[in-house]
Amino acid sequence: MIGPQAWAALRQFKIADTYNQSLLGAGVNDAVPRLLGLPLVVSNALTDSYAGLVIDKSAVVSAVGPVKVSTSEHTFFTADSVGLKCTWRFGHTVPRPDRVGKFSVAAPGS
């Protein structure tokens, strides 16, 4: 996962100071979001937009419960309506935090 500004900064990296060819992608083709052979998910959910995370999917443990749906014809008795409530429980943890890495990309011009 990588922040959008970090992806934009990576796309500005050139193969050398004297070349205008991007380090990512193949010349005139747009760069596919990949880094070192790993697929990237560009997400603005990262609070540090010049950062990225490398996560081993097998290192994240999650659990989910069933979806519970409840209805009530009494809640909105005066409006001929039915109240509906859904609950869903889930959780996650990273038991081996050494399998999660964070990196940052320098902002352009810094």
110 belongs to a structural domain = no
Domain of 76, in residue numbers: 4-104
- For the stretch 72-110, pLDDT in tens is 988 788 888 889 999 999 998 888 888 888 888 886 666
Query: Distances in Å between the alpha carbon of 24 and those of 8, 30, 48, 65, 102?
Result: 11, 9, 22, 42, 20
Residue type, position 65, single letter: G
- For the stretch 39-80, pLDDT in tens is 888 888 877 778 888 888 787 888 999 999 999 988 788 888
* Residue 36 to residue 31: CA distance in whole angstroms: 13
Whole-model pTM?
Answer: 0.53
42 belongs to a structural domain = yes
109 belongs to a structural domain = no
Q: How many domains, in total, are found in the chain?
A: 1
